[in-house]
Amino acid sequence: MATSEVTTSASARTTQDVQQLPNHKVKVKKAGQRACNEKDVKGKFCGGHLKLWAYSADVVERECGDIEKAWGPNAEVYRCENCKALYLPTPGENKVNVAGTGMKSVFGLTLPPKEK
């Protein structure tokens, strides 16, 4: 998914005023958060990975249609792989990659020879 196709609708959103959907638990991701912080009935954290979710391609979600009605067809939504809780991006965060910026590639660059 290209970054130009993703719309960040959570730029002015805070944790308190998140629109809850009838069939989904919705939260706002903290800055740099990559794991789910939802608690189960025993009070333990879920800890599942948050993955960028292509909800428009999901067969079950197409039948429900809650997310597309609320946020449109190209919203940036993350979903926990275990408990299926939905996370909206951090307000003010404009990157799509939750893993970070990564390393710069040296492929194709001419490096100086090593000194002996």
Could you tell me if residue 115 is inside a domain?
Answer: no
CA–CA distance from 91 to each of 66, 96, 113 (Å)? 22, 13, 46
Which has more confidence, 112 or 38? 38
Number of structural domains found in the chain: 1
Could you tell me if residue 9 is inside a domain?
Answer: no
Could you tell me if residue 19 is inside a domain?
Answer: no
Could you tell me if residue 83 is inside a domain?
Answer: yes
Query: Poorest-confidence range of 2-6, 13-17, 35-39, 66-70?
Result: 2-6
Could you tell me if residue 78 is inside a domain?
Answer: yes
Q: Closest Cα to residue 15, out of 7, 3, 25, 2?
A: 25
Give the domain range for residue 69: 26-88
What pTM, to 2 d.p., does this model score? 0.63
Could you tell me if residue 49 is inside a domain?
Answer: yes
pLDDT in tens, 30-75: 888 889 999 988 999 899 999 988 888 887 777 888 888 888 888 8
Query: Poorest-confidence range of 10-14, 56-60, 93-97?
Result: 10-14
Could you tell me if residue 7 is inside a domain?
Answer: no
Report residue 102 as tokens. 């990564």
Could you tell me if residue 111 is inside a domain?
Answer: no
Rounded distance between C-alpha atoms, residue 89 and residue 30, angstroms = 8
